[in-house]
Amino acid sequence: MSPGSSIETVELNVVQAGAWRVHLHGPAQVTRPLKAILSSIAIPEGNLPALEVFISDRGTAYGMVDGTNVWTVTLPKRRWLSPLVGYAVGTAVSLLRELLFVHAGAVVINGRGYVLVGPPGAGKTSMVGVLLRRGASYLSDEVALFDAKAGMVHPFALPMAVKPWTARAIGPLPPTQLVASDSDIQYLQPGLRAHGPVPLDSLVLLDPAHASEPTELPRAEMLLALSEQPSSFRYRDRLEAAFSDFVRVLRHTRSFRMGSSNPANAAHMLERGL
233 binds another protein (CB under 8 A): yes
10 Å CB burial of residue 66 (0-12, 13-18, 19+) is: exposed
191 binds another protein (CB under 8 A): no
103 binds another protein (CB under 8 A): no
User: What residues contact residue 68 under an 8 Å CB cut-off, 6+ apart?
Assistant: none
Question: What DSSP letter does each residue of 205-242 carry, written as one string?
Answer: EEETT--PPPEE--HHHHHHHHHTSSBGGG-GGGHHHH
- In whole angstroms, the minimum distance from the beta carbon of 63 to another protein comes to 23
Binder of another protein out of 124, 154, 219, 257 (CB under 8 A): 219
User: How many CB atoms are closer than 10 A to CB 215?
Assistant: 10
131 and 232 Cβ atoms separated by less than 8 Å? no
Binder of another protein out of 150, 178, 209, 220 (CB under 8 A): 220
- In whole angstroms, the minimum distance from the beta carbon of 92 to another protein comes to 21
- C-alpha dist (Å) from residue 53 to 3, 69, 80, 179, 207: 17, 10, 14, 20, 36
- In whole angstroms, the minimum distance from the beta carbon of 81 to another protein comes to 31
- Binding segment for another protein (CB under 8 A), chosen from 55-63, 125-133, 176-184, 221-229, is 221-229
Size of the site for another protein (CB under 8 A): 17
- Binding segment for another protein (CB under 8 A), chosen from 24-32, 50-58, 162-170, 233-241, is 233-241
227 binds another protein (CB under 8 A): yes
What DSSP character marks residue 118?
-
Alpha carbons 205 and 168: distance in angstroms, whole number: 22
Residue list 235-264, contact with another protein (CB under 8 A): 236, 239-240, 243-244, 247-248, 250-251
- In whole angstroms, the minimum distance from the beta carbon of 229 to another protein comes to 11
215 binds another protein (CB under 8 A): no
Strand locations in the chain, DSSP E?
5-11, 21-27, 51-55, 60-65, 68-74, 100-103, 105-109, 112-117, 137-140, 143-147, 152-154, 160-162, 176-182, 185-190, 198-207, 215-216, 254-259
Binder of another protein out of 7, 150, 209, 224 (CB under 8 A): 224
Closer Cβ to another protein, 144 or 188, answer by number: 144
- In whole angstroms, the minimum distance from the beta carbon of 228 to another protein comes to 8
> Smallest Cα–Cα separation from 197: which of 162, 236, 146?
146
- In whole angstroms, the minimum distance from the beta carbon of 150 to another protein comes to 18
Binding site for another protein (CB under 8 A): 218-221, 223-224, 227, 233, 236, 239-240, 243-244, 247-248, 250-251
